[in-house]
């Protein structure tokens, strides 16, 4: 059963495509990151579906952000 847009907004989860769009990458790259544990991007596995919390995506972006003083 496909999760509807209304249900997704109620649970506040992002699909892999939505997370990939935000991160500027592809769904395939996210799959590699999950299987290799290359990056600490948290996800939820619901049956066979993989979903991302917006907060986890934002936290991941912040953890990878380098300020000009650090560069």
Domain that holds residue 47: 5-63
Percentage of the chain exceeding pLDDT 90: 69
Q: Let me know if residue 69 belongs to a domain.
A: no
Give which of 64, 42, 38, 69 is closest to 53, Cα–Cα: 42
- Establish if 68 belongs to a structural domain: no
Task: Pick 69 or 35 by higher pLDDT.
Answer: 35
- Token pair, residue 12, equals 């506040």
Q: What is the CATH number of the domain that holds 23?
A: 1.10.10
Per the structure, how many domains does the chain have? 1
Would you report the helix, strand and coil content of the chain in percent, each value rounded to 5? 50, 10, 40
> Would 71 be classed as within a structural domain?
no
% of the chain beyond a pLDDT of 70: 82
Inter-residue contact 60 to 25 (CB < 8 Å): no
Quote the pTM value. 0.76
């Amino acid at each position: 059963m496909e999760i509807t847009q209304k249900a997704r907004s109620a649970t506040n989860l992002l699909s892999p495509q939505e997370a990939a769009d935000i991160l500027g990458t592809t769904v395939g790259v996210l799959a590699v990151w999950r299987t290799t544990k290359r990056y600490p991007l948290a996800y939820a596995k619901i049956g066979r579906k993989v979903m991302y919390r917006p907060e986890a995506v934002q936290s991941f972006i912040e953890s990878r952000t380098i300020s000009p003083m650090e560069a």
